[in-house]
A = this chain, B = another copy of it.
Amino acid sequence: MYIKRTDLALEARELWQESAQRTTRLSGVKATKTKQEGYPVTRVDILDNRGEEALGKPQGSYLTIDLTSFWQRKTDFFERAVRAVGSQLKGLLPAEGPVLIIGLGNAAMTPDAVGPLAADSVLITRHLIAAMPRHFAGFRPVAVFRTGVLGTTGVESAEAVRGLAEEIKPALVIAIDALASRRVGRVCTTIQLSDTGIIPGSGVGNHRAALNRETLGVPVFAIGVPTVVDAATLAADLLEESGVENVRPESLQKEGQGLMVTPRDIDQQVRDLSKVIGYGINWALQDLEIEEINALLS
Protein backbone atom coordinates (compact mmCIF):
# COMPACT_ATOMS: atom_id res chain seq x y z
CA MET A 1 0.00 0.00 0.00
CA TYR A 2 1.00 3.54 -0.64
CA ILE A 3 2.35 5.28 2.45
CA LYS A 4 2.19 9.05 2.54
CA ARG A 5 5.57 10.21 3.58
CA THR A 6 6.27 12.26 6.71
CA ASP A 7 9.00 12.54 9.32
CA LEU A 8 6.76 14.37 11.80
CA ALA A 9 5.14 12.32 14.57
CA LEU A 10 2.35 14.91 14.59
CA GLU A 11 1.51 14.09 10.98
CA ALA A 12 1.91 10.36 11.45
CA ARG A 13 -0.83 10.68 14.05
CA GLU A 14 -3.02 12.72 11.70
CA LEU A 15 -2.60 10.12 8.96
CA TRP A 16 -3.64 7.39 11.35
CA GLN A 17 -6.73 9.32 12.31
CA GLU A 18 -7.65 10.07 8.71
CA SER A 19 -7.49 6.50 7.56
CA ALA A 20 -11.07 5.41 7.01
CA GLN A 21 -10.70 1.89 8.34
CA ARG A 22 -9.70 2.85 11.87
CA THR A 23 -12.77 3.70 13.81
CA THR A 24 -11.13 2.63 17.05
CA ARG A 25 -9.22 4.82 19.47
CA LEU A 26 -5.49 5.18 18.90
CA SER A 27 -3.95 3.56 21.95
CA GLY A 28 -0.34 3.79 23.03
CA VAL A 29 -0.10 7.41 21.93
CA LYS A 30 -0.71 10.55 23.98
CA ALA A 31 -0.88 14.07 22.56
CA THR A 32 -0.93 17.35 24.46
CA LYS A 33 -0.90 20.96 23.35
CA THR A 34 0.66 23.99 25.03
CA LYS A 35 2.17 27.33 24.09
CA GLN A 36 5.66 28.65 24.70
CA GLU A 37 6.73 32.21 24.04
CA GLY A 38 3.63 32.63 21.89
CA TYR A 39 4.38 29.61 19.68
CA PRO A 40 2.10 26.51 19.85
CA VAL A 41 3.80 23.30 20.98
CA THR A 42 2.34 19.83 20.40
CA ARG A 43 3.80 16.92 22.33
CA VAL A 44 3.21 13.41 21.01
CA ASP A 45 4.33 10.60 23.32
CA ILE A 46 4.56 7.14 21.85
CA LEU A 47 4.16 4.97 24.89
CA ASP A 48 4.37 1.35 23.79
CA ASN A 49 4.47 -1.14 20.93
CA ARG A 50 0.94 -0.41 19.81
CA GLY A 51 1.80 3.27 19.46
CA GLU A 52 5.02 2.42 17.64
CA GLU A 53 3.19 0.26 15.16
CA ALA A 54 0.37 2.70 14.59
CA LEU A 55 2.63 5.68 13.89
CA GLY A 56 5.63 3.85 12.45
CA LYS A 57 8.03 5.60 14.80
CA PRO A 58 10.03 4.47 17.84
CA GLN A 59 8.79 5.01 21.42
CA GLY A 60 9.62 8.34 22.94
CA SER A 61 8.63 11.99 23.02
CA TYR A 62 8.18 14.20 19.97
CA LEU A 63 7.76 17.95 20.47
CA THR A 64 6.58 20.03 17.54
CA ILE A 65 6.99 23.80 17.82
CA ASP A 66 4.77 25.67 15.37
CA LEU A 67 6.69 28.70 14.08
CA THR A 68 4.12 29.76 11.47
CA SER A 69 3.85 33.18 13.12
CA PHE A 70 7.67 33.55 13.11
CA TRP A 71 7.40 34.71 9.50
CA GLN A 72 5.17 37.61 10.45
CA ARG A 73 8.27 38.95 12.17
CA LYS A 74 6.43 40.47 15.13
CA THR A 75 8.17 41.81 18.23
CA ASP A 76 11.03 39.60 19.38
CA PHE A 77 10.03 36.82 17.01
CA PHE A 78 13.60 35.54 16.80
CA GLU A 79 14.38 35.75 20.51
CA ARG A 80 11.07 34.10 21.38
CA ALA A 81 11.70 31.29 18.92
CA VAL A 82 15.17 30.69 20.37
CA ARG A 83 13.79 30.56 23.90
CA ALA A 84 10.92 28.29 22.83
CA VAL A 85 13.28 25.83 21.16
CA GLY A 86 15.85 26.22 23.93
CA SER A 87 13.51 25.59 26.82
CA GLN A 88 11.70 22.67 25.18
CA LEU A 89 15.07 21.13 24.39
CA LYS A 90 16.36 21.73 27.90
CA GLY A 91 13.37 19.80 29.24
CA LEU A 92 14.43 16.76 27.20
CA LEU A 93 18.18 16.75 27.84
CA PRO A 94 20.25 15.42 30.73
CA ALA A 95 21.46 18.40 32.76
CA GLU A 96 25.16 17.60 32.62
CA GLY A 97 28.00 16.15 30.60
CA PRO A 98 29.80 16.88 27.35
CA VAL A 99 27.74 17.13 24.19
CA LEU A 100 28.41 16.13 20.61
CA ILE A 101 26.33 17.99 18.02
CA ILE A 102 25.88 16.29 14.63
CA GLY A 103 25.03 18.39 11.58
CA LEU A 104 23.55 15.91 9.10
CA GLY A 105 22.98 16.63 5.43
CA ASN A 106 24.44 18.38 2.45
CA ALA A 107 25.63 21.95 2.95
CA ALA A 108 25.65 22.48 -0.82
CA MET A 109 21.95 21.73 -1.29
CA THR A 110 19.66 24.13 0.51
CA PRO A 111 16.73 21.87 1.43
CA ASP A 112 19.24 19.46 2.97
CA ALA A 113 21.46 22.05 4.65
CA VAL A 114 19.68 22.54 7.99
CA GLY A 115 22.21 20.36 9.84
CA PRO A 116 25.45 22.01 8.71
CA LEU A 117 23.93 25.51 8.84
CA ALA A 118 22.63 25.07 12.39
CA ALA A 119 26.04 23.69 13.40
CA ASP A 120 27.57 26.99 12.28
CA SER A 121 25.59 28.79 15.00
CA VAL A 122 26.58 26.43 17.81
CA LEU A 123 29.12 27.63 20.38
CA ILE A 124 31.99 25.15 20.22
CA THR A 125 33.72 24.97 23.58
CA ARG A 126 35.31 21.55 24.02
CA HIS A 127 38.78 22.60 22.84
CA LEU A 128 38.66 25.89 24.73
CA ILE A 129 37.77 24.19 28.01
CA ALA A 130 40.57 21.68 27.43
CA ALA A 131 43.12 24.43 26.74
CA MET A 132 42.00 26.99 29.34
CA PRO A 133 39.94 25.14 31.94
CA ARG A 134 39.76 28.01 34.39
CA HIS A 135 38.71 30.62 31.87
CA PHE A 136 35.91 28.47 30.52
CA ALA A 137 34.86 26.90 33.81
CA GLY A 138 31.25 28.03 33.36
CA PHE A 139 30.77 26.33 29.98
CA ARG A 140 29.55 22.88 29.06
CA PRO A 141 31.86 21.07 26.60
CA VAL A 142 30.39 21.04 23.09
CA ALA A 143 31.95 19.54 19.96
CA VAL A 144 30.48 19.57 16.46
CA PHE A 145 30.67 17.10 13.61
CA ARG A 146 29.35 17.76 10.11
CA THR A 147 28.94 14.36 8.49
CA GLY A 148 28.82 15.45 4.86
CA VAL A 149 27.13 13.06 2.46
CA LEU A 150 27.97 9.50 1.52
CA GLY A 151 28.97 10.41 -2.03
CA THR A 152 31.70 12.76 -0.83
CA THR A 153 33.04 10.59 2.01
CA GLY A 154 32.36 6.93 1.26
CA VAL A 155 31.40 6.55 4.93
CA GLU A 156 27.89 6.26 6.37
CA SER A 157 27.06 9.08 8.79
CA ALA A 158 26.31 6.51 11.48
CA GLU A 159 29.74 4.88 11.10
CA ALA A 160 31.56 8.19 11.27
CA VAL A 161 29.59 9.39 14.28
CA ARG A 162 30.10 6.09 16.09
CA GLY A 163 33.86 6.34 15.60
CA LEU A 164 33.97 9.89 16.86
CA ALA A 165 31.69 9.21 19.83
CA GLU A 166 33.88 6.25 20.78
CA GLU A 167 36.89 8.58 20.77
CA ILE A 168 35.56 11.67 22.56
CA LYS A 169 32.93 10.01 24.80
CA PRO A 170 30.10 12.52 24.92
CA ALA A 171 27.35 12.12 27.51
CA LEU A 172 24.77 12.76 24.82
CA VAL A 173 24.42 13.44 21.12
CA ILE A 174 22.16 16.00 19.44
CA ALA A 175 21.60 15.32 15.73
CA ILE A 176 20.17 18.00 13.44
CA ASP A 177 18.65 17.17 10.06
CA ALA A 178 16.18 18.29 7.40
CA LEU A 179 12.89 16.42 7.34
CA ALA A 180 10.03 15.73 4.94
CA SER A 181 6.53 16.70 5.94
CA ARG A 182 3.25 15.74 4.39
CA ARG A 183 1.69 19.17 4.44
CA VAL A 184 3.07 22.13 2.56
CA GLY A 185 1.89 24.34 5.42
CA ARG A 186 4.40 22.73 7.77
CA VAL A 187 7.45 23.24 5.57
CA CYS A 188 9.79 25.75 7.21
CA THR A 189 7.22 26.53 9.90
CA THR A 190 7.87 23.60 12.21
CA ILE A 191 10.72 22.39 14.41
CA GLN A 192 10.48 18.86 15.81
CA LEU A 193 12.51 17.80 18.85
CA SER A 194 12.70 14.20 20.00
CA ASP A 195 14.54 11.93 22.40
CA THR A 196 14.46 8.95 20.05
CA GLY A 197 17.45 9.46 17.79
CA ILE A 198 17.19 9.87 14.06
CA ILE A 199 17.64 8.11 10.74
CA PRO A 200 19.80 10.52 8.70
CA GLY A 201 18.70 11.74 5.31
CA SER A 202 14.98 11.19 5.74
CA GLY A 203 14.22 14.67 4.49
CA VAL A 204 15.71 14.06 1.09
CA GLY A 205 14.85 10.44 0.80
CA ASN A 206 17.97 8.38 1.40
CA HIS A 207 17.39 6.12 4.33
CA ARG A 208 20.50 5.27 6.27
CA ALA A 209 21.55 3.57 9.46
CA ALA A 210 20.07 5.10 12.59
CA LEU A 211 21.78 7.33 15.10
CA ASN A 212 20.32 6.30 18.45
CA ARG A 213 21.17 4.88 21.85
CA GLU A 214 21.50 1.39 20.37
CA THR A 215 24.04 2.39 17.73
CA LEU A 216 25.95 5.06 19.69
CA GLY A 217 25.68 3.88 23.29
CA VAL A 218 24.53 7.28 24.60
CA PRO A 219 21.17 9.06 24.42
CA VAL A 220 20.56 10.70 21.05
CA PHE A 221 18.27 13.70 20.67
CA ALA A 222 17.07 14.88 17.29
CA ILE A 223 16.15 18.31 15.99
CA GLY A 224 14.53 18.52 12.58
CA VAL A 225 12.89 21.00 10.26
CA PRO A 226 10.68 19.88 7.37
CA THR A 227 11.98 21.55 4.22
CA VAL A 228 10.29 19.50 1.52
CA VAL A 229 7.10 17.66 0.73
CA ASP A 230 7.31 14.54 -1.37
CA ALA A 231 5.64 15.39 -4.72
CA ALA A 232 3.61 12.16 -4.77
CA THR A 233 2.34 12.79 -1.24
CA LEU A 234 1.25 16.30 -2.17
CA ALA A 235 -0.51 15.06 -5.28
CA ALA A 236 -2.33 12.29 -3.41
CA ASP A 237 -3.57 14.77 -0.83
CA LEU A 238 -4.75 17.17 -3.51
CA LEU A 239 -6.63 14.42 -5.34
CA GLU A 240 -8.36 13.22 -2.20
CA GLU A 241 -9.38 16.72 -1.26
CA SER A 242 -10.86 17.09 -4.73
CA GLY A 243 -13.01 14.03 -4.16
CA VAL A 244 -11.17 11.69 -6.51
CA GLU A 245 -11.77 8.12 -5.45
CA ASN A 246 -9.58 5.17 -6.16
CA VAL A 247 -6.41 7.22 -6.49
CA ARG A 248 -3.85 4.82 -7.88
CA PRO A 249 -0.86 5.81 -5.80
CA GLU A 250 1.61 3.86 -7.93
CA SER A 251 1.09 6.14 -10.90
CA LEU A 252 1.51 9.20 -8.69
CA GLN A 253 4.67 7.80 -7.25
CA LYS A 254 6.01 7.15 -10.69
CA GLU A 255 5.10 10.65 -11.83
CA GLY A 256 6.57 12.17 -8.68
CA GLN A 257 9.68 9.96 -8.72
CA GLY A 258 12.58 11.87 -7.27
CA LEU A 259 10.68 15.14 -7.13
CA MET A 260 10.31 17.39 -4.14
CA VAL A 261 8.12 20.40 -3.47
CA THR A 262 9.83 23.27 -1.74
CA PRO A 263 9.23 27.00 -1.18
CA ARG A 264 10.72 29.42 -3.66
CA ASP A 265 12.54 31.34 -0.93
CA ILE A 266 13.84 28.18 0.73
CA ASP A 267 17.35 29.65 1.08
CA GLN A 268 16.35 32.48 3.43
CA GLN A 269 13.93 30.29 5.38
CA VAL A 270 16.43 27.50 5.95
CA ARG A 271 19.09 29.99 7.00
CA ASP A 272 16.81 31.69 9.52
CA LEU A 273 15.50 28.48 11.09
CA SER A 274 18.98 26.96 11.27
CA LYS A 275 20.07 29.98 13.28
CA VAL A 276 17.09 29.53 15.61
CA ILE A 277 18.17 25.93 16.18
CA GLY A 278 21.83 26.77 16.79
CA TYR A 279 20.92 29.54 19.21
CA GLY A 280 18.31 27.35 20.89
CA ILE A 281 20.98 24.71 21.53
CA ASN A 282 23.30 27.32 23.03
CA TRP A 283 20.45 28.65 25.17
CA ALA A 284 19.69 25.14 26.43
CA LEU A 285 23.28 24.01 27.03
CA GLN A 286 25.13 27.12 28.18
CA ASP A 287 22.53 29.18 30.05
CA LEU A 288 23.36 32.23 27.96
CA GLU A 289 21.14 35.10 26.93
CA ILE A 290 20.81 35.80 23.22
CA GLU A 291 22.99 38.91 23.34
CA GLU A 292 25.75 36.92 24.99
CA ILE A 293 25.50 34.27 22.27
CA ASN A 294 25.72 37.01 19.65
CA ALA A 295 28.86 38.39 21.24
CA LEU A 296 30.52 34.97 21.53
CA LEU A 297 29.73 33.95 17.96
CA SER A 298 30.86 37.21 16.32
Q: What residues make up the interface of A, taking CB atoms closer than 8 Å to B?
A: 78, 108-110, 120, 124-128, 141-146, 148, 150-156, 159-160, 162-168, 184, 204-205, 231, 234-235, 238-239, 242-244, 247, 252, 255-256, 258-267, 272, 298
Contact = CB atoms under 8 A, between A and B. Distances in A.
Nearest to A146: B148
A197 to B, nearest CB: 18
A262 B262 CA distance: 8
Nearest to A237: B255
Given A239-B238, A267-B109, A153 B143 contact: yes
A184 B256 CA distance: 8
Nearest to A131: B150
Counted per complex, copies of this chain come to 4
A160 B153 contact: no
A168 B164 contact: no
B184 A155 contact: no
A260 B264 contact: yes
Given A108-B267, A125-B154, A166-B163, A260 B261 contact: yes
Contacts of A298: 78, 272
Contact of A109 (B108, B110, B124): B110
A12 to B, nearest CB: 22
A238 B155 CA distance: 39
Closest 5 CB pairs of A and B: A163-B167, A126-B154, A143-B154, A163-B163, A124-B154
A154 B235 CA distance: 38
Contacts of A127: 150-151, 154-156
